[in-house]
Amino acid sequence: MSAIDDLPPLREVIRQHGLRAKKSLGQNFLLDLNLTARIARAAGPPEGVDVVEIGPGPGGLTRALLVAGARRVIAVERDERAIAALEQIAARYPGRLEIVSGDALKFDPRALLGAAPARVVANLPYNIATALLVGWLTLEPWPPWYDRLVLMFQREVAERIVAAPGSKSYGRLSVLAGWRCEARIRFDVAGTAFVPPPRVTSSLVELVPRQNPLPCERRALERVTEAAFGQRRKMLRQSLKSLGPDPTTLLEAAKLEPTSRAEDIPVEGFVALARAFAAR
C-alpha cells in the first residue's frame, strides 16, 4: 500500500476517530489505496466533474477521487464520528470537499450542483443500496442530474441490476435499470478487500442514463413488473390477474403471448404492457 497524499494512513484515521465499523450503518471500509484508486479510475475522467459520494466513512475513496482530479466531491455521511476525519481531508483540499452530515436517502444534491457534470460514485452501505439505486433510477425529469452512477453492490444485487431476460437474476430491478440506463459490471471485489470483510463478493456497477428511454409511465411499469415477477413461474395470463379481471386484453394490446412468463419478457415488452395498462 503506497501513500497517495500526505494525510494519515486510513488505519490511523480509523483509530484516531474511533471509527469501529458499525453493522447497522453497513460499514465495510476499503483501506487498500490501490483499490480505491482503481474505483476512481473506473468512474471515468473526473476532471471538471462534481462527484456525489454516499457514505465516505474514513474517506479512502474520497481521497482517491480528489487525487484523481474531481472538481468537487460532495460527500454525504450519516455517521457523525466520521465528520472530523472528513474535515481533515477538506482542509487538505480547500474548496473541493463539501461534507453533508445526514441521511443519503433524504438527500437531494441538486441544490448544491451547478453547471458542471455530476456523477455518483460510492461504496454503498448495502442495507440501503437498492433503495438508493431505485431513487436515482426513478428521478424526474429524465435524463437526470448525473451522467453516470458508479456503485459497489453485493454481487448478487449487481447481477440482478444487469441481468438479461432468461437469466434467473432477471427481475423488477433489471427492468427498471434497463429501461432507464445501460448497466454493466466493471469488476468484482473479494470480501477480503473490506474491513471488516463481508461474507459475500462485491461488484462495481456502472449505470449510464439513456437519453431517450422508451416512453412510459414509471408507476405503470412498476405495477406490471410487480404483478408479473410476483409470480414469476406462472404464465402472464395468470400472474397479471392482480392488475384486473381481463389480463388477455392487456397482453393483446402489448403484443405479448399470454402463455409467456415474466422472466422471458424483454424491457420493451414490459414497456408495451405498462403503456397498455396506463391506457386501460
Per CB under 6 A, does 27 bind ligand SAM? yes
Number of neighbours of residue 177 by Cβ within 10 angstroms: 23
The β-bridge partners of 52 are: 74, 120
Per CB under 6 A, does 136 bind ligand SAM? no
In the list 7, 14, 28, 70, the residue contacting ligand SAM (rule: CB under 6 A) is 28
| R_g (Cα) of the chain, nearest Å | 21
Per CB under 6 A, does 55 bind ligand SAM? yes
Number of neighbours of residue 225 by Cβ within 10 angstroms: 23
Secondary structure tally for the chain: helices H, strands E: 11, 9
Nearest to 24 by CA among 95, 81, 96: 81
Q: Rounded to whole angstroms, how far apart are CA atoms 242 and 224?
A: 9
Per CB under 6 A, does 25 bind ligand SAM? yes
Per CB under 6 A, does 125 bind ligand SAM? yes
The number of residues that bind ligand SAM (CB under 6 A) is 23
In the list 128, 189, 220, 276, the residue contacting ligand SAM (rule: CB under 6 A) is 128
Phi, psi dihedral angles at 265 (to 5 degrees)? -90, 125
Interaction with ligand SAM in 161-190: which residues (CB under 6 A)?
Answer: none
C-alpha cell at 113: 450542483
In the list 14, 37, 43, 57, the residue contacting ligand SAM (rule: CB under 6 A) is 57
Per CB under 6 A, does 77 bind ligand SAM? yes
Interaction with ligand SAM in 243-262: which residues (CB under 6 A)?
Answer: none
C-alpha cell at 40: 476512481
Per CB under 6 A, does 108 bind ligand SAM? no
In the list 13, 30, 33, 89, the residue contacting ligand SAM (rule: CB under 6 A) is 30
CB 163, min distance to ligand SAM, A = 23
Torsion from C-alpha of 85, 147, 149, 4, nearest 10 degrees? -40
Per CB under 6 A, does 83 bind ligand SAM? no
Per CB under 6 A, does 104 bind ligand SAM? yes
The residues, ordered by sequence, that sit 6+ positions from 108 with a Cβ below 8 Å of its Cβ are none
CB 52, min distance to ligand SAM, A = 11
* Segment near ligand SAM (CB under 6 A); pick from 52-60, 204-212, 223-231, 265-273: 52-60
In the list 66, 76, 150, 256, the residue contacting ligand SAM (rule: CB under 6 A) is 76
Cα–chain-centroid distance for residue 134? 8
- Name the residue with cell 458508479: 150
Continuous H helices in the chain: 10-16, 33-42, 60-68, 83-92, 129-137, 155-162, 172-180, 218-230, 236-239, 247-253, 267-278
| Nearest CB to ligand SAM, comparing residues 55 and 209 | 55
Q: Rounded to whole angstroms, how far apart are CA atoms 37 and 4?
A: 9
CB 191, min distance to ligand SAM, A = 12
| Nearest CB to ligand SAM, comparing residues 152 and 216 | 152
- Contacting positions for ligand SAM (CB under 6 A): 25-30, 54-57, 60-61, 76-79, 82, 103-105, 123, 125, 128
